[in-house]
Amino acid sequence: MTKEKDAFKEFPWLTRDGNYVRINFDMMPAHMEEETRKALTEYNGVPTFTGEVKNGYPLTAVKDPSVCPCCGASTEEQTAEFIYATSAGMRLMLVPGGWFCGSCPTVIVDEQLIARGMVVKARFRRVVGVINDKTRDPMYFATWRGEKSVFIIDEDEQIEDLITESEMNAMHKSGPPSPAPSIKKERKKKKAKRKQASKARKQNKKR
């Protein structure tokens, strides 16, 4: 108990959330990152993942997170820095929120844990990858739920969301594009014409 209290006094950007510790990178001075990461890992007692990841699965889609849904080997719960997309851009969260396969580059992610731990007021979309612990490079999921990932990128080349190919196809199949935009345009044109007409009438009155 005392150890826990001390750790939280030393690192005010850490807060407790049930059985987990929440880390606010926005509050944390940059030079403290390394130390905080170590302290958090020690506190959690969950080892840090140091390998590579290519495939992501949501925890909600697997029956048993201790078994890899990709190759059937056993997994281990580990701490990692997860990259997730929100309605306010991409964010990072360091949490013991993944079961990593010991035999292939697959992780089962507890997305609910990450969504609950968000410090920004934004809508959680999806976990899109994991930060490589050694190189600090992002490892984006090449597959999600066993399907090829499709990344939705905004004009600043930030990932807005990750969808699977079948989700994308379902979106395309949902009927022909709505005729609403052209109707709006028509209305606008009519409105503009009306405006011109009334302007002309006013001008006529002045004469």
In the bound state with Zn ion, the residue whose beta carbon lies nearer, of 37 and 54, is 54
**Binding positions for Zn ion, 45-84, rule CB under 5 A:** 68, 70-71, 73
In the bound state with Zn ion, the residue whose beta carbon lies nearer, of 36 and 106, is 106
**Minimal distance in Å, beta carbon 114 to Zn ion?**
21
Buried (b) or exposed (e) across 59-85, using 16+ Cβ within 10 A?
eeebeebebbbbeeeebebbbbbbbbb
**Minimal distance in Å, beta carbon 40 to Zn ion?**
26
Taking the CA atoms of 55, 58, 59 and 63 in sequence, report the sign of the dihedral they define.
negative
**Binding positions for Zn ion, 91-110, rule CB under 5 A:** 101, 103-104, 106
Strand partners, 164: 149
Distances (CA, A) of 201 to 9, 189, 191, 196: 74, 18, 15, 9
**Minimal distance in Å, beta carbon 71 to Zn ion?**
3
In the bound state with Zn ion, the residue whose beta carbon lies nearer, of 38 and 148, is 148
**Minimal distance in Å, beta carbon 38 to Zn ion?**
28
Cα 20 to Cα 44: distance, rounded to the nearest angstrom: 8
Interface ranges with Zn ion (CB under 5 A): 68, 70-71, 73, 101, 103-104, 106
